[in-house]
Structure 1
Amino acid sequence: MYDLTGFQRDLLYTIAGQDEPHGLAIKDELEEYYEKEIHHGRLYPNLDKVVDKGLVEKGELDQRTNYYTITARGRRELEARREWEEQYIGGFFSESE
């Protein structure tokens, strides 16, 4: 996970949080989060990179539409990232309440 960009990590989180999303559904979620347009030229090459790394699997709905699912390796990477984050900010939010 250390070799992913922040955008690629956000792709993983978005895909993991949905049931076999297609590219436009992922794009819509990220545009809502980033509050700006995500261009196809940014989205699809980054989706291909996380697929190539074995973190996401790409399937075909029809000849024009692909769907994406997180792989077991992708889940492990997300869990490891969550544990790493927890060691730094785990108590931070409960202390500020």
Structure 2
Amino acid sequence: MSSENTDTLGFEITLLTFVANKYEPDATAVLEEMNAWYDTEFGYQRIYGTLERFNERGLVKKISIDGRSNCYMITQKGATRVKRHRELVEQQTEGLA
């Protein structure tokens, strides 16, 4: 996929989905998943910035591992957001070939 397909909202819901589907991933694990999914190279800054915004909005919980590294856990609010997005996509694409 090209960078044209990495719009902010799509990027954010994809990143949140990867956090939801992993057990407390660190930013490096999320970055690797995002790079593979979009077939591009995102920088750590974009991943860390998005994870920090998610933490501030209550979508993920940042957990300190060793005082330097962090991992991220999806919150109920974040899980609800992912589920609602999935339901929207399913509803809007029902019947497509």
| TM-score, normalised with respect to structure 2 | 0.85
* 2:38 paired residue number: 34
Which letter does structure 1 place at the counterpart of 2:86?
R
Q: Distance in 1 between matches of 2:90 and 2:71?
A: 31
Q: How many residues align?
A: 90
> Is 1:88–2:72 an aligned residue pair?
no
Opposite residue 80 of structure 2, the aligned amino acid is R
User: What amino acid is aligned across from residue 79 of structure 2 in structure 1?
Assistant: R
Distance 2:94 2:23 in 1: 28
1:1-97 to structure 2, matched below 5 A, reads 5-92=9-96, 96=97
List alignment gaps of at least 5 residues for structure 1.
Answer: none
* TM-score, L = length of structure 1: 0.85
Q: Percent same amino acid at aligned positions?
A: 33
| Greater radius of gyration (CA) | 1
- Contact 1:8–1:47 (Cα < 8 Å) also in 2: no
